[in-house]
Structure 1
Amino acid sequence: MKIQEIREIIKLIDQSTLDEFLYESEGTKIKLKKNDKGSVSSTGFALESSVVAEQPIVVEEKQAQVSEAPKENVEKKVEEVAAETSLHKITSPMVGTFYQSSSPEADAYVQVGTKVSSDSIVCIVEAMKLFNEIEAEVNGEVVEILVKDGQLVEYGQPLFLVKEV
């Protein structure tokens, strides 16, 4: 199991009403528990693997509580800019990984200044090995790209600002 998949599982459990989650597959065991505040407990996260060793290898990941203030500040700034200039925000419909093109060798779907129509594909959001094409939803011109290629995005996170025509 890849770290990316584990991170996505952690996010899904954190957003759900589940208090405890246990996953076992091919010698790998993941056990997640939420603390009283509703977020995934850093002490409840452990990976156990017995692929090579006779005894399970236990890796405990200690995570500091990360403040959401920087993310909130960015979102407030995006909201202010969009409100001031009446720009349309194209948001992520799901949690996943943002890609600007269909493959690493291909050109980006859009760049700043690209004219788009409502059915133009602007990016791909990959979630659980499924590549979802995201459409512009409006006719206009891309003014700003708010995320970087390969960045993890949240549900509802603004990806692009488009000046409607």
Structure 2
Amino acid sequence: MFKIQEIREIIKLVDTSSVDEFVYEVDGAKLKVKKNGVAVDAPVAAPKAAAPAAVAPEAPKAAAPAAVEAPKAPEAPKAEVAADSELHKITSPMVGTFYQASSPDAAPYVQVGDKVGNESIVCIVEAMKLFNEIEAEIEGEIVEILVKDGQLVEFGQPLFLVKAN
């Protein structure tokens, strides 16, 4: 199974290289990334029943280089906060809908001031009826939540600012 971080790294590497198409297969899972083209797919082996949110077959669909550049404009008002070199951005690994909690009546996964660890779930991004749990991937404290519950997010769009420990 591919992890979101692995998919992110592959997309970054393909995007910065001269390669136009990349296919990677491991343990029955296949990831196919095309640059400068519309089609990007990742057929993945059947998800485990206990962890459906960890499977993100639609994650790389927004891998077009234009989608990576789009989130930069909304960050301008937050220049003071982002100027701090200790802040880490937790970004969306896919295009989808941002949710702060597992259900509308549940408490948010994290709030400003909460401490998070590498594997702490900070939100869910829904893409194509799949609810993908997003992990912090850093230890620190949530400084700012940059998107609203139910908001559409793009690939690479910053979701949270975290002050690293």
Q: Are residue 17 (structure 1) and residue 37 (structure 2) matched?
A: yes
Determine helix, strand or coil for the equivalent of 1:107: coil
In the alignment, residue 17 of structure 1 is paired with which amino acid? Answer: G
Aligned residues with identical type, % of pairs: 71
In the alignment, residue 141 of structure 2 is paired with which amino acid? Answer: E
**What is the aligned partner in structure 2 of residue 100 from structure 1?**
100
CA distance in structure 1 between the aligned counterparts of 2:118 and 2:83, rounded to whole angstroms? 21
Q: Report how far residue 16 of structure 1 moved.
A: 6.9
TM-score by length of 2: 0.55
Runs of 4+ in 1 over 4 A off after TM superposition: 77-80
Q: How many residues align?
A: 103
Higher Cα radius of gyration: 1
- Greater share of strand residues, 1 or 2? 1
Gaps of 5+ in 2: 1-34, 39-68
CA distance in structure 1 between the aligned counterparts of 2:36 and 2:128, rounded to whole angstroms? 17
Determine helix, strand or coil for the equivalent of 1:133: strand
Q: Are residue 130 (structure 1) and residue 150 (structure 2) matched?
A: no
Q: Report how far residue 104 of structure 1 moved.
A: 0.4
CA distance in structure 2 between the aligned counterparts of 1:80 and 1:101, rounded to whole angstroms? 28
**What is the aligned partner in structure 2 of residue 51 from structure 1?**
none
CA distance in structure 1 between the aligned counterparts of 2:37 and 2:82, rounded to whole angstroms? 33
TM-score by length of 1: 0.55
Of structures 1 and 2, the one with the larger relative CO (CA 8 A, separation 6+) is 2
Q: Report how far residue 81 of structure 1 moved.
A: 3.0
Determine helix, strand or coil for the equivalent of 2:83: helix
**What is the aligned partner in structure 2 of residue 114 from structure 1?**
114
**What is the aligned partner in structure 2 of residue 144 from structure 1?**
144
